[in-house]
Structure 1
Amino acid sequence: MRNDPIPLTRVSQAVEVKAPDYVALSDRIWGMPELRFQEHRSAEEQIAQMEAEGFRITRAVAGIPTAFVAEAGEDGPLIAFLGEFDALAGLSQDAGVAEPRTATPGANGHGCGHNLLGAGAMLAAVAARDALRAAGRPGRIRYYGCPAEEGGSGKTFMARAGAFDGVDAAFCWHPGSVNGVMSARSLANYQVYFRFRGRASHAAGSPHLGRSALDAVELMNVGVNYLREHVPQESRLHYAITDSGGMSPNVVQARAEVLYLIRSPRVSEARVLLDRVRACAEGAAIMTGTTWEMEIDKACSETLPNTALETAMHRNLLEIGPPPYEPADRDFAKAIRASLTEEDIASGVASYGADPAIGAMPLHDGIVPFDGTSIAQYGSTDVGDVSQIVPTAQLWGGCWAVGTPFHTWQAVAQGKSGAAHKGMVLAAKAMAATALDALADPDLLDRAKEELARRHGGKPYVNPIPDEVVPPPLRARA
């Protein structure tokens, strides 16, 4: 039986009361330079905030120093809010400046808005806890501080350790250019190192004695480039040469390394594609007389949308309405858009599955319609592994000028803007309100869980990271 719902006004009031603290937190994390699994200062900022709010802290989840959990409540269903705080390499950009400019060239930057993502999810967790407490309702609220979404799959390692077992529903959000439910099927991936070892020699005096590891890397890449024609259309293959074997062209390179990111719509397909890429490495080693080895760095599963929770979230978004953008917010958004091409803007709007007409707006003044249909997206996220275990719903918060590409200086420049903070607060309200709906309505939770089981088709979840692969911060000790 459904309990009487907690009024949305109470959730909004709780969020508004807390918002200034979390706006400041998002700004502090914005300037921190740490990358995957090195986000110690950001994690400590979040832990201190949640301790101040009276949440119980569990550190080093899954053995990862920067992963933690903050929990409140003793009884009732367990609701999770997923937060992130990691940055991207080489994307330093001065805040509030509508041109590429930085006081710290080569430093890192929040080109994916994770400073906002974590602070907004924490705000939702505190608001939901406060609303439950005021109403005298049971329910447990848990915030997950998740490191290394960018290139590290922190949540996948956490999932393998059982960190999300027993959770009844999970909520997350992401900064973007629109306001609306994020019902998306992301790509699964494997990130894998291929290392080649050869034999050094004088490149002119005795080249016949050398066996070039760099030749092996290049031949492997040529093979993979030919492979692209013969993989599923939705698959993606990316690589970076991470060790070219030295700086001298007069030495046959005895070592070389290439890092591959292999994506497909389902993790089972990504495994098959990994085997085909591995065959290219083996062939390259045979051709060059070198040896090779492969090391899986990380992996993540595809997301499983949950229409039951997403429909409830969409209803709350409509009731809350879009962020109350101000003239100054629109002026800055227009300045940012002056640096974008028409193709940038059209591609950005299309990536959300939104009406192309939104591309004419400097900031999105509405809520994207939702009819229960999921769209395909070609990025990857470790939220996918949480969604394989727990019914999970996500949303977009309109924090950036419409059309802003991800992982760009334009995204970083807007990370402390007024619009960004307003989009963050909207996301917190919608997540908190939907979590409270789930706690008040056992039928909603049941339908969400039944949908997750149906999407699995009777097959159990299998974590894509092999047991022998430990998180990067623990590898030196392993």
Structure 2
Amino acid sequence: MTQTAPLNTDRIWQLCDDSREAYVALANRVFDTPETAYGEYASAAAHRDQLAAAGARITEGIAGIPTAMMGEWGAKGPVIAVLGEYDALPALGQAPGVAAPQPTGGAGHGCGHNLLGSAAMQAAHAIALWLAETGTPGRVRYYGCPAEEGGAAKTFMVRAGAFDDVDAAISWHPADYTGVFEAVSLANTRIDFTFTGQAAHAAASPELGRSGLDAVELMNVGVNYLREHMPDDARVHYAYLDAGGEAPNVVQAKATVRQLVRTARLAELGPLVARVRRIAEGAALMTDTTVEAKMVSAVSDLLENTVLDRLMDGHIQRLGAPDFDAEDGAFAEAIRDTLTPEHVADTFRRAGRPIDRALPLADFVVPLGTAPRISSGSTDVGDVSWAVPTVQAWVATCAIGTPFHSWQLTAQGKSPAAHKGMVQAAKIMACVGRDLFADAGLLAAAKAEHAGRIAQEPYRCPLPPEVLPPLRPRP
């Protein structure tokens, strides 16, 4: 492939280092104002302020979502997107820098999205400066994407056409080791099932009651029996949204349960969801209640792009793991003391490496293709990957063994180690974006591979047209 512009890796790294202070401050500001899905108004404002300071052309309210935005630099040429997030998780507020449970109340960044969005914008800004310095034609965009945690904002954004003119997309996720985020994830949908019956006095006239709560419990029993008869890599989880009330002497007339259904591939999701729906109908029949099903969100599995994976892997190998120091290791050791040996072993299992219980932080990188391909979680980046060629990285920001969605991860969200990993992620993504602008053949190869995969299995948005984002009012 013929390069159309000189590739000076040291320069793109330097551009990231030059902006380190501003983006660490952004990550900390988001950490200090954690907000859950579709309520990230303060976080979105912080990202908008930084985009303005970086000289981006800003578009807000993408797909009708007040907290979704896009900042763009450059002109003409291809369009490369860098995807950021900034939503938090409920009930995971935690004092930073403390290796013991110290809840602060409210939401917390138990998946490191304060770091995710900040590094993504830092990378986009560095690419923009490189485009200007070299005179390379092209537009780089930072997409501020809310509600990844269960809200499927990117799926709504894809459906609204936000990526229709994008040539490739880049992202990353905080983790406890560094390597390419290979395309293994689960498609999923969240559906709320509300059962409605008839209230009655539970002692005087229970025969007159029809219990929505009984229906929810029977549905969960039915789903439990279904688990033996669905694919090994499928998952169904649930949460009670409304248990009907607090009075046990009342037949609870109405109750709601949220069912989260996951499968390895989007094509397998529909049949499993249909079975779950039939279980709900059966529970309603058994309890003489009615049931209403309302889809809340849905995401696709990730679509692989080996051209981009290899490109990113090369830069990860050159950059290496974040340069952690003794103080980083000491705090990581303290965090690890709160974990079980199984947590630590799980990291090495996922990384495809022998267990080293003496290692507090991952000073290694995982070469592409050496880790087992284990599907476990879900991400709305999946829908972007079906729309455009997409690549992601894992980058170490926390102690080995730290589980996602835990107080331990939140506690490390403002640590020096987290900031080092964040800047390393920005450098990796900036290098990938720079190469795609500089080498037309590389981008063409990525797009050709994507087109070939889509030709074999066309993308179908998992969200029906009538399903809208569950927006929250501005506080």
Structure 1 and Structure 2 fold alike (TM over 0.5): yes
Cα distance in structure 2, aligned partners of 1:274 and 1:199: 27
- SS of the residue 2:59 aligns to: strand
The corresponding residue for 1:469 is 467
The answer to whether the Cα contact below 8 Å between 2:352 and 2:370 also exists between their aligned partners in 1 is: no
Match of 2:267 in 1: 268
For residue 90 of structure 2, what is the aligned residue in structure 1?
A: 89
**How far apart in 2 are the matches of 1:348 and 1:256?**
39
Q: Name 1:123's counterpart in structure 2.
A: 122
Task: Provide the secondary structure at the position in 2 that maps to 1:140.
Answer: strand
Residue matched to 1:436: 434
* Aligned-pair Cα RMSD in Å: 1.5
Contact 1:62/1:157, CA 8 A, preserved across alignment: yes
Which residue in the other structure is 1:311 paired with? Answer: 310
Aligned positions, number: 473
Which residue matches 1:282? 281
Q: What is the match of residue 337 of structure 2?
A: 338
Q: What does residue 298 of structure 1 align with? A: 297
Q: Distance in 1 between matches of 2:457 and 2:172?
A: 27
CA distance in 1, matches of 2:356, 2:387: 34
User: How far apart are the structure 1 equivalents of 2:371 and 2:390?
Assistant: 15
Contact 2:39 2:473 (C-alpha < 8 Å) held by counterparts: no
Alignment of 1:43-442 (within 5 A): 43-102=44-103, 104=104, 106-351=105-350, 353-357=351-355, 359-371=357-369, 375-442=373-440
- Per the TM alignment, residue 457 of structure 1 is displaced from its structure 2 partner at its CA by 4.4
Amino acid at match of 1:226: Y
Return the TM-score normalized by structure 2. Answer: 0.97
1:451 aligned counterpart, secondary structure: helix
Q: Which amino acid aligns with 1:421?
A: H
Cα offset, 1:326, TM superposition: 1.4
> What SS does the corresponding residue of 1:98 show, helix, strand or coil?
coil
| AA in 1 matched with 2:64 | G
After TM superposition, give the deviation of residue 5 of structure 1 in Å.
Answer: 3.3
Aligned partner of 2:469: which letter?
P
- Residue identity matched to 1:350: R
Opposite residue 271 of structure 1, the aligned amino acid is G
Amino-acid identity (%)? 52
- In structure 1, the gaps of 5 or more residues are none
Question: What letter is aligned with 1:68?
Answer: M
Q: Would the aligned equivalents of 2:35 and 2:108 in 1 still touch at CA under 8 Å?
A: no
Query: Shift in Å at residue 316 of structure 1?
Result: 1.0
Q: Distance in 1 between matches of 2:129 and 2:374?
A: 36
- Cα distance, 1:305 vs structure 2: 2.0
Offset from partner CA, 1:190-232 (integer Å, 9 cap, x none): 1000001101111111111111111111111111100000000
Please name the residue that 1:39 is paired with: 40
Contact 2:38 2:472 in 1 (8 A): no
In 2, the alpha carbon distance for the partners of 1:354 and 1:57 equals 42
Provide the TM-score with structure 1 as the length reference. Answer: 0.96
- Measure the CA separation in 2 of the matches of 1:3 and 1:219: 63
Between the aligned partners of 2:355 and 2:238, the Cα distance in structure 1 is: 36
Q: Aligned equivalents of 2:456 and 2:403: distance in 1? A: 38
Q: Is the 8 A contact 1:307 1:372 kept in 2?
A: no
Shift of 1:374: 7.4
Contact 2:34 2:43 in 1 (8 A): no
Q: Deviations over 1:220-248 (max 9, x none)?
A: 11111000000000000000111111111
Deviates more, 1:360-369 or 1:65-74: 360-369
Measured at CA, do residues 314 and 5 of structure 1 come closer, stay the same or move farther in structure 2, by a change above 3 Å?
farther
Q: Secondary structure at the match of 2:366?
A: coil
Distance in structure 1 (CA, Å) of the matches to 2:329 and 2:354: 19
